[in-house]
């Protein structure tokens, strides 16, 4: 079996004959003019035409009497449940997708989901030709071809004639521009994309309202109780004492003292906790070369409450001396 690809409607029309299976890969991308010309060519070709997942924009023209259901199949893998030989030999296949409805009395409906088929075989009115409407392209994907009966169904649908022609519509097709003025931008977008875009827009608007700042000026609120700073200090001191956290209390006292005296002796706040920078500047300021201030500002935590109180007094005295020197 020979295989070739065509990209224009004229090439597809010329390829339609009794020995050819014409696979239309993207029917919804065809303009109304292209659809009408293609249908006229395939109707009398006595060959097979396979429409791959045609939706509402194209199925009624390319397969008269067939309508696409707006709700796709939930299950992707379906069983044949029909007398079509190709479907019976293939068995279950991944054809779940678009579903179709038709009033044609001689149509073969296969792979039903909720009473509607995902595969229709429509014999020609006169002659051996037929049109196959397939609701999903999954059986042709490389990553799905070896699953279920996908390979068998694909080979039987596409290999019933000596020649296979894949019609991939191209924007460069001259016939695609003949009636472009009759179709707007939104006509070229599949229905599913429009619905998804609307949902995303609503979700984005709700998220923006949820995360947006409240409207209007800020309103200051009076605190129900005014707490003095001394009470806060005493409460925190009691918490330290209850937890026996002399090390944390001493570290907080030393850190606060270093932070306050650093600007007074010309040390930047970033170097206030570096002994090699703070201590030389502090010694030069106090003019007491023999005094070792390292244990006072960077020493170990006190061993008892009395030592903690003594440390507090010494730090307070040091800060006063720096301020007055």
Round to whole Å and give the CA distance between 248 and 276. 23
Round to whole Å and give the CA distance between 37 and 50. 16
DSSP for 64-133, written as a single string: TTEEE-SSPPS-S-B---S--HHHHHH-SBS--S--EEE--TT-EEEEEETTEEEEEEEE-SSSS-EEEE
pLDDT digits (tens), the chain, 325 positions:
799 999 888 899 899 899 999 999 999 999 888 899 899 888 888 899 999 999 999 999 999 999 999 888 888 899 999 999 999 999 999 998 999 999 888 899 999 999 999 999 999 877 788 999 999 999 999 988 989 999 999 999 999 899 999 999 887 776 666 554 455 666 666 667 778 888 999 999 998 888 776 666 667 777 777 778 778 878 887 888 888 888 988 998 999 999 999 999 899 988 989 999 998 888 888 876 667 888 989 999 998 989 988 999 999 999 998 888 7
**Domains of the chain (ranges plus CATH)?**
2-187 (3.40.50), 244-324 (no CATH)
Report the C-alpha dihedral over residues 82, 42, 192, 109, rounded to 10 degrees.
Answer: -10
């Amino acid at each position: 079996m020979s295989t070739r690809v065509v990209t224009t409607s004229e090439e597809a029309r010329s390829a339609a004959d009794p020995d050819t299976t014409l696979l239309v890969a993207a029917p919804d991308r065809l303009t109304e003019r292209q659809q009408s010309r293609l249908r006229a060519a395939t109707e009398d070709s006595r060959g097979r035409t396979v429409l791959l997942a045609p939706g509402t924009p194209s199925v009624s023209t390319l397969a008269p009497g067939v309508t696409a259901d707006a709700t796709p199949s939930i299950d992707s893998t379906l069983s044949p449940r029909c007398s079509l030989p190709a479907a019976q030999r293939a068995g279950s296949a991944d054809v779940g997708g678009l579903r179709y409805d038709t009033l044609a009395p001689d149509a073969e409906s296969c792979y039903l989901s909720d009473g509607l088929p995902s595969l229709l075989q429509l014999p020609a009115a006169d002659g051996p030709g037929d049109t196959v409407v397939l609701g999903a392209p999954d059986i042709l994907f490389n990553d799905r071809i070896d699953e279920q009966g996908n390979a068998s169904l694909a080979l039987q649908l596409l290999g019933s004639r000596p020649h296979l022609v894949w019609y991939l519509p191209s924007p460069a097709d001259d016939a695609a521009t003949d009636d472009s003025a009759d179709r707007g931008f939104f006509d070229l977008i599949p229905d599913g994309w429009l619905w998804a875009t609307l949902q995303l827009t609503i979700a984005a608007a709700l998220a923006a309202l949820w995360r947006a700042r409240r409207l209007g000026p800020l309103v200051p609120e009076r605190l129900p109780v005014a707490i003095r700073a001394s009470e806060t200090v005493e409460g925190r001191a009691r918490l330290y004492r209850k937890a026996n956290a002399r090390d944390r209390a001493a570290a907080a006292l030393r850190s606060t003292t270093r932070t306050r005296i650093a600007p007074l002796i010309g040390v930047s706040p970033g170097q206030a906790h570096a002994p090699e920078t703070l201590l030389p500047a502090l010694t030069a300021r106090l003019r007491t070369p023999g005094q070792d201030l390292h244990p006072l500002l960077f020493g170990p935590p006190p061993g008892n409450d009395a030592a903690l109180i003594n440390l507090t007094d010494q730090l307070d005295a040091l800060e006063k001396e720096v301020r007055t020197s």
